[in-house]
Amino acid sequence: MRHSLPIAPQFYVTAPQPCPYLEGRVERKLFTALQGANAEKLNDSLSGQGFRRSQNVLYRPSCSDCAACLSARIDVARFAPSKSQRRTLRRNSGVSRRATSPWATEDQYDLFRRYLDSRHSDGGMADMDVFEFAAMIEETPIRSRVIEYSDTETGELIGVCLTDVLVDGVSMVYSFYTPDLPRNGLGTYIILDHIEIARQAGLPYVYLGYWVPGSQKMGYKAKFSGLEVYIGGTWQKVRDPDAFAAETHPLSNDPIAEQVANISLPDLSR
């Protein structure tokens, strides 16, 4: 099924699949190709409208009877760490960070496999082999970095995040970390460190992906102050996460053609 605007790019919708976040629901995605000389311009524009990147594709949830998935980002200027997050920073004071070009390594893949086997053994990425992993890391038409986290004493790689650099922030495409240090809260630490990366670079936002109110798997994102979600074409501040409920009404989403018509595109003629 294809829907197109008067100018490129063209948008498509996936076939329904079982939802990974809400039991008994199905998901589908609106997506477009990310390629050519204007890839960064398109990525910047659509990321600000709730889209996410996966390799050379930009996508956004577009379920026919549900609007529970909310694109989320942290306003760096409004963020203040909680007591628990300050403890996480202290626990990881012996962690060093290194930013590299998007190039996959054996150490990264070994860590990725340990992470999946421990935390997401039944997920959609569980069968990803080394070649698919390399494609996830390396197939990017925009400015991307691999942020590696290592134990300063031993040099052991303990965390990785594939990160895109946008015009207004950093986007955490995918992160994974060792399952052997549960008390360290490495998942939280990597987000906290990306807030610091954005702050040092003078970028206002950290894009986290999607938050689903009521989904335990996604609940950690609501623990960060300064959170914003994309609803109805605008970014809204999340002052009380408990006030948000998953929107699962069958009329909660506009028809696909209307969604496409409401997407604002940058000038791609230059």
Give the chain's end-to-end CA distance (angstroms, integer).
29
pTM above 0.95? Answer: no
What the chain holds in terms of domains, given with CATH numbers, is 2-70+246-261 (no CATH), 73-243 (3.40.630.30)
Q: How far is CA 138 from CA 129, 153, 162, 226, in A?
A: 14, 29, 10, 31
Tens place of pLDDT per residue across the chain (270 aa): 555 444 568 999 999 998 888 888 889 999 999 988 899 999 999 999 999 999 999 999 988 778 889 999 999 999 999 999 999 999 999 999 999 999 999 999 999 999 999 876 566 677 889 999 999 999 999 999 999 999 999 999 999 999 999 999 999 999 999 999 999 999 999 999 999 999 999 999 999 999 988 777 788 999 999 999 999 889 999 988 888 876 766 666 777 888 888 898 888 766
User: Which tokens sit at 148?
Assistant: 């590696």
Q: How many helices (H) and strands (E) does the chain have?
A: 6, 15
